[in-house]
A and B are shown apart, each in its own frame.
Chain A
Amino acid sequence: MRLGRIGPCGAHFVLAGVALLALACGSGGGNNDDEQTLREALRGFGQFSVVRLDTAALARVSRPSSRSPCRSRARTAAWSSARCD
């Protein structure tokens, strides 16, 4: 995840698509029992992906400064296209 300021009140951050894809659905190794547990627990979701977001960074750049009510910018990946094949 890259993060950078763009001006006094906005923020711009990119969730790199490749990195996110690697994190999704447990690809890249890990405890297979846990991955199975995850799939079982979330089967009511249908087709889904699991991802890791740096929420603290997102919250920092999303919150407008106290001096200005200006809006934040967030550039994110994967919301609309993510799936767990």
Chain B
Amino acid sequence: MVEREVRLTLRNLRNPALTEFVLKDGAAGSGSSMPLPAPATYQGTVRDGGVAVATVTAAAVEGSMLVAPEGWSFIEPLEPQLRLHEVEPGARRRLLRKYNHIVYNTRRTAPDQLPRDDPGRPPVVVGPPQPPAPLVMSVVADGDAALWRAYPLDSVMPFWLKQETLLNGVDWLYNCVEPDANAANAYAECDNQFDGGSGAFQARVRIDRLEVWTSGGPTAPTRRAVLNQSAAMTHQSSPLCCGPPHTAGRSSIVHFFSGTAFTDGAGEAFGIGGLNYYGPRCREDAGTGLCHHAVSQLVASQSPSFTFNGTAFEQLALVAHEIGHNNNANDIMQFEPVCWLFDTQCGQTLMFTANGFNGEMLFLYVPLVAEMEMGPLMASQLPRAPG
């Protein structure tokens, strides 16, 4: 048993205007909002080298820690997993009296088998590599009624906290953060090899909205159809809820977190390079169009045609994979090793899913893709961070 000392800094990803989460009742054509509890997303460092990213509330801890030589380890609450795997209530209660969290190392996880989610279209051509400058990647987090049921408000991990927790992981990936370097929760030097940052971009996640459909809304059984529905419906607000319509169009990305076990694959992005694009091509089919939307399934697959286990590790990997497509990264078709922990651990990139998300997967994009395709698009589409 190894003890690690972790120093965590609160990392508030919320837009200052984000003070409530939104519940959209598509059946009634109405909506409501409820006050958000204080932010509980943290990032930090591990003594003697390493990084930790976690949500810590009075009821749950969910996040990951990257240290040498063990690699990448996760912790997540047990309660949602027992419920989602339909453990009967009596056994669930007894087990939850004894245990409340699951811990695991990604190198020892069960592998997925995923179908392709990339139509093979070329990335958007933008320009030459750009020196990384602090940018802001704003995100609207939406979800379907199945997400509402999978992560209800009385869970230790309600839907909005799950959304926020996963986006905290994305922030770690995109901001190349070295939290110990900056106590002000601002941008740090992107020189920490633990984060695997290639130095090609530096974007901080800002969450603009956390919302979910409690009924109605996108309900299709396939990822593609839900993605199309999300592109049409997430932008609805009035009369559903909370302010003028189409405010989601002002955000760089709309990510749709689904509690549906899709029949055709776990996630999909609306084209390659749809970052910050909300225009006429959003009304085309996701297979041919372009938009700032993507969808990720969070629950375990029920389909015989693919495997997705729905662990926090796989959820984060999938979300980061789809946002990678939004940010101009294609799938990597040939295995190309990427390394972190000062080159002591190597494996497969986030964008190589031919083997699914498995123990070989690291939370890294291929440096050349980040430099030549992702970085230039992000520099052209995202605003500079204030200050």
Q: How many Å from the CB of A54 to the closest CB on chain B?
A: 9
Picked from A18, A26, A79, the residue with its CB within 8 Å of the CB of B73 is: A79
Interface residue SS majority, chain A: mixed
Q: Contact at B6–A73, with CB atoms within 8 Å?
A: yes
Q: How many Å from the CB of A59 to the closest CB on chain B?
A: 4
Query: Given A59-B56, A82-B103 in contact, is the A64-B1 Cβ separation under 8 Å?
Result: no
From A38, which residue of chain B is reached at the shortest CB distance? B95
B154 at the interface (CB under 8 A from A): no
Q: Contact at B10–A47, with CB atoms within 8 Å?
A: no
Q: Contact at A77–B81, with CB atoms within 8 Å?
A: no
B359 at the interface (CB under 8 A from A): yes
Q: How many A-B residue pairs have CB under 8 A?
A: 171
Q: How many Å from the CB of B272 to the closest CB on chain A?
A: 29
From A25, which residue of chain B is reached at the shortest CB distance? B99
Contacting residues of chain B (190-233) with chain A, CB-CB under 8 angstroms: none
CA distance A23 to B98 in the complex (A): 8
Q: How many Å from the CB of A60 to the closest CB on chain B?
A: 8
Q: Contact at B102–A42, with CB atoms within 8 Å?
A: yes
Which residues of A sit under 8 angstroms from B101, Cβ to Cβ?
50-53
Query: Given A45-B309, A46-B108, A59-B58 in contact, is the A69-B6 Cβ separation under 8 Å?
Result: no
Q: How many Å from the CB of B138 to the closest CB on chain A?
A: 23
Q: Contact at B103–A49, with CB atoms within 8 Å?
A: yes
From A53, which residue of chain B is reached at the shortest CB distance? B101
From A48, which residue of chain B is reached at the shortest CB distance? B104
Query: Given A37-B87, A78-B1 in contact, is the A52-B99 Cβ separation under 8 Å?
Result: yes
From A21, which residue of chain B is reached at the shortest CB distance? B1
Query: Given A71-B7, A71-B44 in contact, is the A41-B85 Cβ separation under 8 Å?
Result: yes
Q: Mark B55-94, 1 if CB is under 8 A from A, else 0.
A: 0111111000101001101110010011001111001001
Q: Contact at A75–B103, with CB atoms within 8 Å?
A: no
Q: Contact at B75–A77, with CB atoms within 8 Å?
A: no
B300 at the interface (CB under 8 A from A): yes
Which residues of B sit under 8 angstroms from A52, Cβ to Cβ?
98-101
Contacting residues of chain A (60-85) with chain B, CB-CB under 8 angstroms: 60, 62-64, 69-83
Q: Contact at B108–A77, with CB atoms within 8 Å?
A: no
Q: How many Å from the CB of B39 to the closest CB on chain A?
A: 10
From B93, which residue of chain A is reached at the shortest CB distance? A34
Which residues of A sit under 8 angstroms from B102, Cβ to Cβ?
42, 45, 48-51
Q: Mark B296-310, 1 if CB is under 8 A from A, else 0.
A: 000010000000011
Q: Contact at A75–B108, with CB atoms within 8 Å?
A: no
Q: Contact at B104–A58, with CB atoms within 8 Å?
A: no
Query: Given A55-B57, A80-B4, A81-B1 in contact, is the A64-B95 Cβ separation under 8 Å?
Result: no
Known contacts A71-B183, A73-B8, A74-B7, then 14 further A-B pairs from the complex at CB < 8 Å, ordered by chain A residue: A37-B88, A44-B310, A45-B109, A50-B78, A63-B38, A69-B183, A71-B7, A71-B10, A73-B5, A74-B8, A76-B4, A79-B73, A80-B67, A82-B73
Residues of B participating in the A interface, judged by any CB pair closer than 8 Å: 1-10, 38, 40, 42, 44, 47, 56-61, 65, 67, 70-71, 73-75, 78, 81-82, 85-88, 91, 94-95, 98-105, 108-110, 179, 183-185, 300, 309-311, 359
